Each structure stands twice: as structure tokens, then as C-alpha cells.
Amino acid sequence: MTTSVRAAVRPRLLIWARERSGLGVDDLNHKFPKLTEWESGERTPTLKQLEDFARATHTPIGFLFLPEPPEEQVPIPDYRTMGDVGVSRPSPDLLDTIFACQQRQEWYRDFAQVTREDPVGFVGSLTTSVPFVEASEQVRTTLRFDPSERGHTWSDALRTLVDHAEELGVLVMVSGVVGANTHRKLDPEEFRGFSLVDQMAPLVFVNGADTKAAQIFTLTHELVHLFLGETALDNADLGTVPTSPVERWCNQVAAEVLVPLGSLRDALSPDVAVADQLESLARTFKVSTLVVLRRVHDAGRLSWEEYQTAYQDELTRVMEILGERSGSGGNFFNTQPARVSKRFARAVIVSTLEGQTLHRDAFQMLGLKKLSTFEELVSRLGIG
């Protein structure tokens, strides 16, 4: 008769892992009916139960054997602040997303060096001493993203901006989930995007759980960080005044790229209430109504107090719409290349077909499980 091996884990580590995951006891009780007793120290889980618990809470199992819960830090500069208070305790979803993107960036950097790609010229080409209007002209021209070049819909505009950035050498990853796991949805209230600067493999991640219009602002904001040569994690929030001068400058540049103040003044009717023009102006510039509101304030049509009230009302409306969306992830072969960057996906596939990268490693980096899926992706991307 075999006896189960009990795991020497301290109850406070189990509580920490559960709270870190954002799950309550009720969320886990169906799978771990003795969880309350584990957390109180009355019982000890078996090693197999602990492994299952680690998977369920997205916790590296080694953490559970530490004497005290670790102090996890975001591994990149964190500009997500409310006033002077930083955002505490990053979620496992955010950390796993950053780590995965760092691994992809490291792989692509090596690939770019082996294939003798040129460094991405615009990275680090600006400083915050450049007036934001002048900087915005450089960014808009480099990205070929004038208002007349954005297509007819927000989806057209986002796709255009992603494609133009990737043509310049940027790895652009847009995803609303961790990896390819549709059960691990990213929270746009925790973060909207981040940039990982590198001369050979600059990378931008955009939280795809946000609206398309919001993604456009986030992507522009993160690309501005690359122009500065800076790595950053952001909320890209126009509803507050960032304490960081870098964030304020990036917001100003991104807003001017998307909605040039001169063009807005020409389009803004003095005889119509601002609220009645938001939707039409957002369609004109292919931005969110929140960005339009900020630019209307910048144009002098709304005081700061009026803007704050209107922004909070509009933010509530937008978040309600976002919450009502269905959970459909769309066609896998359309969404997965966007999640990992089409440029990155093509590079991994080419390297694999040439025998430089193992299929096992390619599957892991691309979020695939079967050879048939890999072969279909090869066909869809027109490689071969």
C-alpha cells in the first residue's frame, strides 16, 4: 500500500498564492475541498495536491516551499500610478505576460543578429526635450499614420498602425489573454500595455481586452516610449495627470499624433455641445471618445473640472460596453499571430523550417500544441 507524500508547505504561503491569483476560497473549493483546513494548518496537502494548487493559482511551485511569501516586483519600469501611489502586487497574468514577451524578444534578438537585420533606426531618436508637437510630427511621419491613412474603422486603423510598426522592425503583440489560454483574461484596469526597448528587437505589448479605440492610443503611447529608447509598463490613462514627466510627455505626443490640435479645432463645431460631437470626432480620427475629450480640453473648450466629470462619465459608459462583450476569441489563425506578433511568428516558422529551431520550442513560443496547427499557420502566413 502506497502512502501519499505530504508537502511541507506553510499555510501563509497557500493564502498568499490564492490572494495573489485574485481567487477566493469559494473559487477553489470545488477542486480543493480541504483548502480552508490547509490554510488554517489543520491539514497538509499531498505533493500532488500542491502541484495542482500551484497550477490553479498560476504560482511557480518553488515559491510555495519558501519560508515567507516573496516580494514580487514588476521586472520593468512601472509608470502605472494613481497620484503618487504605485500599483501594488502585480497579478500572475501580468508577470507571466511580461516574462513571455521578454523570452520572445531575446529569441528574436538572436535571430535578427544571425540573419544580419539592421537595427531599428527610430529607437532612441527622441528625447523629452523635443517639443511634443515637433515630436508628434516625427512619430506620425515615421509610422505613416496621418488621419487620412487610417482606413474606415477602428479595426482598420489598428491593423494599419500595427502593420506599419512591424514593417519598421517592431514586434507588436496584441492579446487579451495570457499566451493562448482563453481562461486567463488580462484586465485592462491593471495595465493597458508595455514597451521593451531593444535596438534589434523592440517590442510593444497591447492589452487586447481593451476596446479597439483604446488599443490604438495604447499602441501609439508605447511606440513613443520606443522613440525615447525607454522600457515602460503603462496605464496610458488620459484621465489623470501623471506624476512622471516622461509619462506626461508620452501622453502629449501620442494624443497629438492621433488628434492634431489644429485639425480638431477645424472639426469642432462651436455651436454644438461637446457631448453631441464625441462619437463623430472619434470616428473621424479613429480614436476613443476619451482621447477626443482630452483633446477638446486641450483646445480650451472644457475646463479641467468639466473634463474630469465628462471623462469619468464616459469611462463608465465605455467600461460597461466592454463588460457586455461576448467572450469569443475569434478565429485562432487570425488571433494567434497577432497575439505573438506576425513578424515574430514568421521568424520562428522560418527558423524552424530551416532546422535552426526545434518544433518543440517553436510550439511553445507560438502557443501551439499540434504539428497540424503549425502547418496550417505556415500556410495562412504564406510561408514556404
pTM of the model: 0.91
Q: How confident is the model at residue 2 (pLDDT cuts 50, 70, 90)?
A: low
Is residue 3 scored above 70 in pLDDT?
Answer: no
The answer to whether the beta carbons of residues 112 and 200 sit under 8 Å apart is yes
Average pLDDT of span 10-17:
92
Segments making up each domain of the chain, as ranges? 11-65, 81-258, 259-324, 336-380
Q: Work out the percent of the chain whose per-residue pLDDT is above 90.
A: 66
What is the pLDDT at residue 243?
Answer: 84
What is the pLDDT at residue 83?
Answer: 42
Pick the more confident residue, 181 or 107. 107
Domain 11-65: give its CATH architecture: Orthogonal Bundle (1.10)
How long is the chain?
384
Beta-bridge partner residues of 245: none
Q: Which residues contact 381 (CB under 8 A, 6 or more apart)?
A: 337, 342, 345, 346, 349
CA dihedral of residues 111, 117, 119, 122 (deg, nearest 10): -110
- Angle of the 359-366 helix axis to the 342-353 helix axis, nearest 10: 170
Is residue 84 scored above 50 in pLDDT?
Answer: no
What is the pLDDT at residue 36?
Answer: 92
Pick the more confident residue, 3 or 119. 119
H helices within the chain, ranges in order?
Answer: 11-21, 25-28, 35-40, 47-56, 92-114, 132-143, 154-167, 212-228, 245-258, 261-267, 278-285, 289-298, 304-323, 332-340, 342-353, 359-366, 371-380
Is residue 215 scored above 90 in pLDDT?
Answer: yes
Pick the more confident residue, 160 or 315. 160
- Give the three-state DSSP class for 196: strand
What does the angle CA 268 – CA 243 – CA 101 come to, to the nearest 5 degrees? 90
Average pLDDT of span 359-371:
92
Is residue 60 scored above 50 in pLDDT?
Answer: yes
- Report the sign of the C-alpha dihedral through residues 70, 76, 80, 81, in that order: positive
What is the pLDDT at residue 52?
Answer: 93
Mean pLDDT of all residues belonging to the chain: 90
Which tens digit of pLDDT belongs to each residue from 325-335? 555 556 777 78
Pick the more confident residue, 230 or 383. 230
Average pLDDT of span 360-365:
93
